[in-house]
Amino acid sequence: MTIREATLLDTEVLIAMTHRFLASSSYGFWLGKAEDERLVRLVLTVFELGTILVADDGGDVVGMIALAAVEHPVTGRRFAEELAWWVEPEQRRGTTGPRLLRAAEEWCRKMELSVVKMVAPAGSDVGRFYRRMGYTEVETAWQKGLC
């Protein structure tokens, strides 16, 4: 398996992964169904702001992580904000997730970003994985639907 930067040729598979992510997580409840045209614009925006790394298993993309390099509004320091992270369910017990995260960290170092901020769905085991990878829990986000 190879971890590489995504290209425009990966857009279709990235959109398909996003649909599977929304259908299988609580984010889909809050965000609703995303139209493909909007997701294409999202991919293009991420390419401008950061990167999308994919796990390529012999031509089949089995995972991805999308990061934006942004400036913190308080400190002015640039950091990486995780926008999306997906590993196909059949790949989750292997090394695909950790390899994607390590590659994301390496990309951040190369870009001289001070911190990488990752998120986890509420109630998931992802927080334990982050702790094992050296991450510290900083905040919990709360949402309330208004309309």
Tokens of 60: 């089949």
Q: How far apart are the first and last CA of the chain?
A: 44
Query: Per-residue pLDDT tens for 126-137?
Result: 889 999 999 999
Question: Does residue 63 surpass a pLDDT of 80?
Answer: yes
Task: Determine the Cα angle at 70 with ends 143 and 88, to 5°.
Answer: 65
Task: Output phi, psi for 69, to 5 deg.
Answer: -90, 115
The reply to whether the predicted model has a pTM over 0.85 is yes
Using 50, 70 and 90 to split pLDDT, how confident is the model at 31?
low
Task: State residue 55's pLDDT score.
Answer: 98
Say which CATH superfamily domain 2-132 falls into: Gcn5-related N-acetyltransferase (GNAT) (3.40.630.30)
Task: State residue 69's pLDDT score.
Answer: 97
Q: Tell me the CA distances in angstroms from 19 to 22, 118, 127, one per residue in order.
A: 5, 20, 23
Query: Per-residue pLDDT tens for 86-97?
Result: 999 999 889 999
Tokens of 5: 């930067």
Domain map of the chain by residue range? 2-132
Rounded to whole angstroms, the maximal C-alpha distance in the chain is 45
Using 50, 70 and 90 to split pLDDT, how confident is the model at 125?
confident
Residue type, 115: V
DSSP state of 24: H
